[in-house]
Amino acid sequence: MPNLPPDRHADPDLAARLADIRHRIAEACRRANRPADSVTLVAVSKTHPVEAVAVALAAGQTCFGENRVQEAQAKFPSLRPAHPALRLHLIGALQTNKARDAVRVADVIESLDRPKLALALREAMQKEGRAPAMLVQVNIGDEPQKAGIPTAEADAFIRTCREEHGLPVTGLMCIPPAEGDPRPHFAALAALAARHGLATLSMGMSGDFEAAIAEGATHVRVGTAIFGHRPAPQA
């Protein structure tokens, strides 16, 4: 797979879109008086074929996001030998029975969002002898249908994950409400991270990554704007 020629179905515009997103990230950093390398682009390749990932890799993209463990396992391990700089972030809701597979496949798990999962990840780390970095996902708009630890429980949960379970929590992640201005939510996540001395802030997607950078995002998760529309709705 790693030396596969560019797939004839591969989107020829993908590299151009990637370059455009990188340019917009650099501009947003400049406006925020931040160094351009202070933001990492996580290219969200979920539902897109491994050929699309290969095109992005060839264009210099090394950091990717997937939201399903099984899909990540199918696409990424075979790419690693030829691409040692590759970094895979798991960004989707994680079932406890997938914790071991997640610890094995991911470099960063961004969806640590409940006590049972914290326990499962702790056990998985011990069994696998591997410790991906972890971000606590906060339900920053306290929306009933959304994943993430409720804001009122976030302080205690972050402390428990780090102090009681010894999880390598390096930051926070959020998906703000779809409606309304996301900026106050991004600012709230940044304030929460600062209170806990956490350096990593994963926030901002195709539609709002520039606003997230203005509020301090260190990682933006961009899918559609790079890979195009996804064929099916995401679980």
Ligand X SMILES: *Cc1c(COP(=O)(O)O)cnc(C)c1O
Interface residue with ligand X, options 45, 61, 67, 200 (CB under 6 A):
67
Q: Are 99 and 164 in contact (CB under 8 A)?
A: no
Give the residue, chosen from 175, 188, 211, 213, that forms a contact with ligand X under the rule CB under 6 A: 175
Q: Candidates 62, 87, 206, 228: give the one binding ligand X (CB under 6 A).
A: 206
Least Cβ distance, residue 111 to ligand X (angstroms): 7
Stretch that binds ligand X, among 33-41, 68-76, 118-126, 222-230 (CB under 6 A): 222-230
| Pair of tokens at residue 88 | 């895979």
Q: How far, in Å, CA of 227 to CA of 167, rounded?
A: 32
- Annotate each residue in 139-158 with x if it binds ligand X (CB under 6 A) or - if it does not, as one string: --------------------
Q: By CB under 6 A, which span of 50-58, 80-88, 163-171, 219-227 interacts with ligand X?
A: 219-227
| Residue 88 binds ligand X, judged by CB under 6 A | no
| Six-digit token string for 98 | 């997938």
> What is the sign of the dihedral through the CA atoms of 118, 119, 120 and 121?
positive
**3-class SS at 106?**
coil
Handedness of CA 135, 44, 18, 184 (dihedral sign): negative
Q: Does 217 bind ligand X (CB under 6 A)?
A: no
Residues 29-48, interacting with ligand X (CB under 6 A): 44, 46
* Cβ partners under 8 Å of residue 141, min gap 6: 176, 177, 185
Q: Report the alpha-carbon distance of residue 78 to residue 85 in Å, rounded.
A: 13
In the complex with ligand X, the residue whose CB is nearer, 45 or 54, is 45
Which single residue brings its beta carbon nearest to ligand X?
A: 223
Smallest distance, ligand X to C-beta of residue 87, A? 15
Q: How many residues bind ligand X (CB under 6 A)?
A: 15
DSSP H helical segments within the chain, as ranges? 14-31, 50-58, 69-75, 99-105, 115-128, 151-159, 183-195, 209-214, 224-227
- Residue 205 as a binder of ligand X (CB under 6 A): the answer is yes
Residues that bind ligand X (CB under 6 A): 44, 46, 67, 91-92, 175, 205-207, 221-225, 234
